[in-house]
Amino acid sequence: MTVVEILIYTCLVIGVVFNSLGVLGLLRFPDLYTRMHATTKATTFGSIFTSLAVVVYGLSIFFSQNASQYLNLAIHAFLAAAFLAFTNAVSAHAIARAAHKSGIKPMLAVVDRLEEAKL
């Protein structure tokens, strides 16, 4: 087993473990905002790491066999991961703001600054 394979396996395991932690939080947490806290961050982190495994795979085959379509695969996987990171953050913020405006309050929260600011 080479160094590149160990790197790919590590990235895949980290990605799948963090994705499953996110889905576990989605199933088990009591409130909308805590569920969003679990899924958005953990799922984005895990998906970035599974994409990073594809980037490492494509770059390793490109440098060993000099095949240009694997460089293409690596660049496209990196672009998909970058779009995923930006769009997930923005859409989670939009859903949280809309849910707070529609009247869903945090269940066990002590302080609610958005309620005090009357936005």
Partner 1 sequence: MIDVWILAVLCLTVLMAFAVVRLVLGPTAPDRVIALDTVNTLVIASMILLGVVFQEIIIVDVAIVYGLLSFVSTLYIAKYIGGEL
**Residues in the site for partner 1, rule: CB under 8 A?**
5, 8-9, 12, 15-16, 19-20, 22-23, 26-27, 32, 35-36, 39-40, 43-44, 46-47, 50-51, 53-54, 57, 69, 72-73, 76-77, 79-81, 83-84, 87-88, 90-92, 94-95, 97-99, 101-102, 104
Q: Which is nearer to partner 1, 103 or 113 (CB)?
A: 103
Separation CA 91–CA 69 (nearest Å)? 33
Separation CA 112–CA 96 (nearest Å)? 13
Sign, Cα dihedral of 25, 29, 31, 33: negative
Q: Which is nearer to partner 1, 95 or 109 (CB)?
A: 95
Q: Which is nearer to partner 1, 103 or 110 (CB)?
A: 103
Separation CA 101–CA 98 (nearest Å)? 5
- Cβ atoms of 48 and 81 within 8 Å: the answer is yes
Q: Which is nearer to partner 1, 90 or 110 (CB)?
A: 90
The single-letter DSSP state of residue 112 is -
